[in-house]
């Protein structure tokens, strides 16, 4: 008996004709009720527009992504400065599902306040089978010394270098980008030649796009940077006497994966296309490159850090779908300090669940044919290629870094990104949206220093930042006030009119002010302005926010503001845009307005200062 064929089901599916884009668009515009369809169109930091629905890319075909078509390598970050503890963590990770170790050296691009020392590597890797465990090295400034230490360890284990899977992570251009003394690539060529002669088959140098990403840059900037860095390394390796076929095999790539699945998948897939174009220009046939993805530092938060588990899960999913060869996950407490065993376990198991239970590694290029990923990827490819050509036209990546042009371009993107977050056009759950001011603290082995945790948001270098920092500083200030005064800063929510009129804005206002750590005290049901004044006096707050509908505001807000001012309110806010009532409300004592489109960071800074001064 033969199995069913496509024609078996033809009679059932034939009557059903899928709607066209025009029909769908008409239905959407009907729901929008006169609002512009453009409100549904998003734009990336590179100006790439993508809508809510994109047609299938029927001409796209799956591509070979990972070289061996198998699962990605589950890497675990090893960064504890105590070598014996780091060794215990490494062995535990390898015994519990990890297939590789991401060794983070102190001062490396991926070191956020902690890291290993070169002299401790023998103790860190004690009893680690270097033929079985892959190594990704975040080498930092001591890359050559780290490589020599690893060569010695391989020899001491009696291993053939060709049996190891070590990506040495040498990145002199990355050091320059991060503000170290200008590094040349001559020693890189000599080291690479030596490692090849010894029989090592892993990548020697890495083009590390995390440097651009964690400085706040765009996807196209990150791609252009790694492409030009890769080109520079091709030149350096060729100058050292290596043929291009060998040279290209010695170059690895490292990109950040963040919680935007569309951009992460499109970016990682685009890199392979872009590098293939460069390889073809060298007269070579493209081969799968080595791509190590790490979940993004800039998206991590100190507040409500458990949300970081969701962020990193999305990032791992995206990197896996996009074909990363190796993936590292920042534990959810990374922004607080050195992660403990529980945080490391969650980070490791995030990958294992997606690999073993979701079977993400069993399909090659599952994003192929998706209109969103293909269209965004094509646009991103064009943007990145154009930026790479600009860099090469300026004399290459070293010259561009020396001139400061790339740094200035990244700074512009970072400033706009921070502005969007300040206005909550970009939401950070648990930080600038849906805060939990009563959250329990998370445990870390060592706290992170204030400088390492925050970064310099105004730096003119490619320094790493976290996007949540401006709002976290407000929460820190509120907690400092509580420590000094025994209570949190408070705001009284004066709810006017019936429940149906004030509930929506009162809920919104509570969320808004608690973003800054200001505790919102809800009023009882009020029937008149004098009731609001009495309830306010009993609340212990010194600032107040009026909450209700526009209709009730027109009838009661001015009288309520007058009564509250007489009752001692030092500042009176109103939840919502004042519109034509602004002059009347200000005359009655309303001092500020909170609404969806306002500069939330600036407004909350004012509110917190007022709530704190009032004590």
pLDDT tens-digit series, residues 514-543 = 999 999 999 888 777 778 888 898 898 999
Region 67-91 average pLDDT: 95
Cβ-based burial of 63 (10 A; exposed 0-12, middle 13-18, buried ≥19): middle
Q: How many domains does the chain have?
A: 2
388 and 491 both lie in a single domain: no
Q: What is the pLDDT of residue 31?
A: 84
More confident residue, 90 or 457: 90
Instruction: Show which of 368, 390, 405 is a domain's final residue.
Output: 405
Does the pLDDT at position 615 exceed 60? no
Instruction: Show which of 385, 405, 425 is a domain's final residue.
Output: 405
pTM exceeds 0.85 for this model: yes
CA distance 415 to 465: 12
Q: In whole angstroms, what separates CA 87 from the centre of its chain? A: 29
377 and 494 both lie in a single domain: no
Domain span including residue 191:
73-405
- By C-alpha distance, which of 370, 354, 285 is closest to 318? 354
Task: Place 408 in a pLDDT band, splitting at 50, 70 and 90.
Answer: very high
199 and 304 both lie in a single domain: yes
Does the pLDDT at position 454 exceed 80? no
Q: Is residue 25 part of a domain?
A: no
291 and 386 both lie in a single domain: yes
Q: Is residue 584 part of a domain?
A: yes
Task: Place 2 in a pLDDT band, splitting at 50, 70 and 90.
Answer: very low
Task: Place 1 in a pLDDT band, splitting at 50, 70 and 90.
Answer: very low
Q: Is residue 48 part of a domain?
A: no
- Give residue-wise pLDDT tens across range 422-440: 999 999 999 999 999 999 9
Mean pLDDT of the chain: 92
* CATH (domain of 373): 3.20.20.240
Exposure of 582 in the CB half-sphere (CA atoms within 13 A): 8
Pairing status of strand 444-447 against strand 337-339: antiparallel
Instruction: Show which of 405, 433, 464 is a domain's final residue.
Output: 405
Q: Is residue 303 part of a domain?
A: yes
272 and 395 both lie in a single domain: yes
Q: Is residue 436 part of a domain?
A: no
Q: Is residue 32 part of a domain?
A: no
147 and 288 both lie in a single domain: yes
360 and 254 both lie in a single domain: yes
Task: Place 20 in a pLDDT band, splitting at 50, 70 and 90.
Answer: confident
Region 557-576 average pLDDT: 95
* CATH (domain of 575): 3.40.50.280
CA distance 246 to 120: 31
Q: Is residue 153 part of a domain?
A: yes
DSSP H or E run through 313: helix 307-321
């Amino acid at each position: 008996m033969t199995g069913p064929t496509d024609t078996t089901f033809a009679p059932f599916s034939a009557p059903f004709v899928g709607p066209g884009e025009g029909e769908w668009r008409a239905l959407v515009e009907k729901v929008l009720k006169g609002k512009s369809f453009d409100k549904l169109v998003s734009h990336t930091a590179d100006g790439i527009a993508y809508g809510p629905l994109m047609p299938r890319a029927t001409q796209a075909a799956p591509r070979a992504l990972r070289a061996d078509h198998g699962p990605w390598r589950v890497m675990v970050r090893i960064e504890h400065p105590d070598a014996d503890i780091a060794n215990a963590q490494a062995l535990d990770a390898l015994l519990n599902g990890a297939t590789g170790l991401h060794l983070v050296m102190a001062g490396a691009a991926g070191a956020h306040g902690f890291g290993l020392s070169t002299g401790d590597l023998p103790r860190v890797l004690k009893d680690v089978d270097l033929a079985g465990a892959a190594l990704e090295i975040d080498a930092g400034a001591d890359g050559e010394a780290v490589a020599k230490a690893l060569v010695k360890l391989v020899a001491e284990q009696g291993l053939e270098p060709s049996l190891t899977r070590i990506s040495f992570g040498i990145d002199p251009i990355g050091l320059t980008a991060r503000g170290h003394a200008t590094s040349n690539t001559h020693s890189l060529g000599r080291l690479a030649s030596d490692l090849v002669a010894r029989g090592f088959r892993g990548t020697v140098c890495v083009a590390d796009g995390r440097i651009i990403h964690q400085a706040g840059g765009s996807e196209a900037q990150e791609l252009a940077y790694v492409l030009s860095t890769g080109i520079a390394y091709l030149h350096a390796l060729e100058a050292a006497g290596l043929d291009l076929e060998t040279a290209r095999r010695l170059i690895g790539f490292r990109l950040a994966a963040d919680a935007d699945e569309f951009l992460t998948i499109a970016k990682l897939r685009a890199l392979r296309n872009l590098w293939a174009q460069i390889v073809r220009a060298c007269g070579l046939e493209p081969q799968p490159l080595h791509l190590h993805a790490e979940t993004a530092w800039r998206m991590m938060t100190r507040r409500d850090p458990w949300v970081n588990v969701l962020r990193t899960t999305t990032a791992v999913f995206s990197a896996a779908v996009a074909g990363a060869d190796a993936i590292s996950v920042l534990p959810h407490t990374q922004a607080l300090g050195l992660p403990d065993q529980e945080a490391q376990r969650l980070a490791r198991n995030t990958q294992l669940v997606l690999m073993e239970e979701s079977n993400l590694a069993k399909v090659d290029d599952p994003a192929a044919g998706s209109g969103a990923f293909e269209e965004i990827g094509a646009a991103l490819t064009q943007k990145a290629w154009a930026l790479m050509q600009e860099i090469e036209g300026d004399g290459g990546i070293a010259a561009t870094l020396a001139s400061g042009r790339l740094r200035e371009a990244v700074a512009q993107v970072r400033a706009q990104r921070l502005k969007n977050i300040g206005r909550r056009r970009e939401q950070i759950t648990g930080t600038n949206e849906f805060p939990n001011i009563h959250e329990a603290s998370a445990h870390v082995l060592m706290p992170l220093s204030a400088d390492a945790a925050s970064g310099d948001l105004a730096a003119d270098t490619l320094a790493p930042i976290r996007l949540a920092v401006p709002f976290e500083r407000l929460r820190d200030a509120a907690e400092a006030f509580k420590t000094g005064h025994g209570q949190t800063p408070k705001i009284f929510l004066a709810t006017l009119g019936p429940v149906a009129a004030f509930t929506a804005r009162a809920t919104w206002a509570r969320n808004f002010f608690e973003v800054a750590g200001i505790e919102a005290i809800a009023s009882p049901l009020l029937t008149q302005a004098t009731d609001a004044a009495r309830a306010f006096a009993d609340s212990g707050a010194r600032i107040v926010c009026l909450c209700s509908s526009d209709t009730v505001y027109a009838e009661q807000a001015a009288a309520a503001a007058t009564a509250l001012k007489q009752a001692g309110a030092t500042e009176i806010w109103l939840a919502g845009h004042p519109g034509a009532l602004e002059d009347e409300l200000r005359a009655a004592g309303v001092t500020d307005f909170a609404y969806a489109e306002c500069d939330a960071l600036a407004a909350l800074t004012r509110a917190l200062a007022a709530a704190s001064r009032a004590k």
